[in-house]
Amino acid sequence: MSGGARLRQVLDAPAATTAGVLSAFIVVGASYEATDSARWFASSPGAALGSAVVAVGLAFFLSVPLILLFRWLDRFGAVRSSPESFREAVRRRFVSTAALLLAGWLPWLILHFPGNVDGDTITQRMQWVGLLAQTDHHPWFDTMVFGWFWDLGSAVGDDGVGLFVYLLLQEAATAAGLALVLTYLGWLGMARAARWTLTAAAALLPVFMAAPSVMSKDAFAAVFWLPFLVLFVEAVRTRGRVLRDPRMAAAALVLIVPLILAKRTNVYLVVICAVVLLVIAARGTRLRIALGTGAALVVTNVVWPLLLLPALGVAPSTATDMLTIPVQQTARIVAAHGDEIPAHEREAIDDVLRYDGLADAYVPRRSDSVKGRWDQDATSEEMRAYLEVWFAQLLRYPMTALSATAANTFEYFAPVSPMAFQNSLTLERYIDYWEERAVPATTRGEIVAVVDGLHAPAELDHARTAVNHATDAIAERDPLSSKAFYASWIPLIALAYAIRRRRALHILALVPLLANLAFLVASPVALPRYVLPLVYASVLAAGMMLTPVRWQNRHHAPAPAVPVRSTESDV
pLDDT tens digits for range 59-74: 999 999 999 999 999 8
- Report the pLDDT value the prediction gives residue 127, as an integer from 0 to 100: 94
Lowest mean pLDDT among 224-228, 268-272, 317-321: 317-321
Q: Are 112 and 464 in contact (CB under 8 A)?
A: yes
What lies within 8 Å, CB to CB, of 343 at 6+ separation is none
- Report the pLDDT value the prediction gives residue 562, as an integer from 0 to 100: 37
- If one compares 558 and 298, the residue with the highest pLDDT of the two is 298
Residues forming beta bridges with residue 240, ordered by sequence position:
none
Q: What is the pLDDT of residues 181-211, one digit of tens each?
A: 999 999 998 889 999 999 999 999 999 999 9
Give the number of other CB atoms < 10 A from CB of residue 30.
17
Model confidence at 337, in pLDDT bands (50, 70, 90)? very high
Mean model confidence pLDDT for the chain: 90
Backbone angles phi, psi at 304, to 5 degrees: -70, -55
Separation CA 487–CA 414 (nearest Å): 10
Convert 17-53 into a string of H (helix), E (strand) and C (coil): HHHHHHHHHHHHHHHHHHHCCCHHHHCCHHHHHHHHH
Lowest mean pLDDT among 277-286, 388-397, 559-568: 559-568
Q: What is the pLDDT of residues 33-51, one digit of tens each?
A: 999 999 999 889 999 999 9
- Report the pLDDT value the prediction gives residue 331, as an integer from 0 to 100: 95
Q: Is the pLDDT of residue 217 over 50?
A: yes
- Sorted by where each begins, the domain ranges of the chain are 11-75, 84-215+439-481, 239-316, 323-408
Model confidence at 453, in pLDDT bands (50, 70, 90)? confident
Q: What is the pLDDT of residues 161-180, one digit of tens each?
A: 999 999 999 999 999 999 99
- Report the pLDDT value the prediction gives residue 563, as an integer from 0 to 100: 41
Q: Could you give the dihedral angle defined by the CA atoms of residues 408, 410, 412 and 417, in that order, rounded to the nearest 10 degrees? A: -100
- Report the pLDDT value the prediction gives residue 561, as an integer from 0 to 100: 34
Model confidence at 85, in pLDDT bands (50, 70, 90)? confident
- Report the pLDDT value the prediction gives residue 530, as an integer from 0 to 100: 95
Separation CA 410–CA 413 (nearest Å): 5
Separation CA 40–CA 53 (nearest Å): 13
Separation CA 102–CA 112 (nearest Å): 15
Q: Are 240 and 277 in contact (CB under 8 A)?
A: yes
- If one compares 2 and 441, the residue with the highest pLDDT of the two is 441
Give the number of other CB atoms < 10 A from CB of residue 556.
15
Over residues 453-480, mean pLDDT = 87
- Report the pLDDT value the prediction gives residue 571, as an integer from 0 to 100: 33
CA-derived radius of gyration, the chain:
25
pTM of the model: 0.91
Q: What is the pLDDT of residues 357-403, one digit of tens each?
A: 999 999 999 998 898 899 888 899 999 999 999 999 999 999 999 99
Over residues 416-421, mean pLDDT = 89
Model confidence at 570, in pLDDT bands (50, 70, 90)? very low
Q: Is the pLDDT of residue 541 over 60?
A: yes
Q: Are 236 and 277 in contact (CB under 8 A)?
A: yes
Q: Is the pLDDT of residue 567 over 50?
A: no
Q: Is the pLDDT of residue 277 over 80?
A: yes
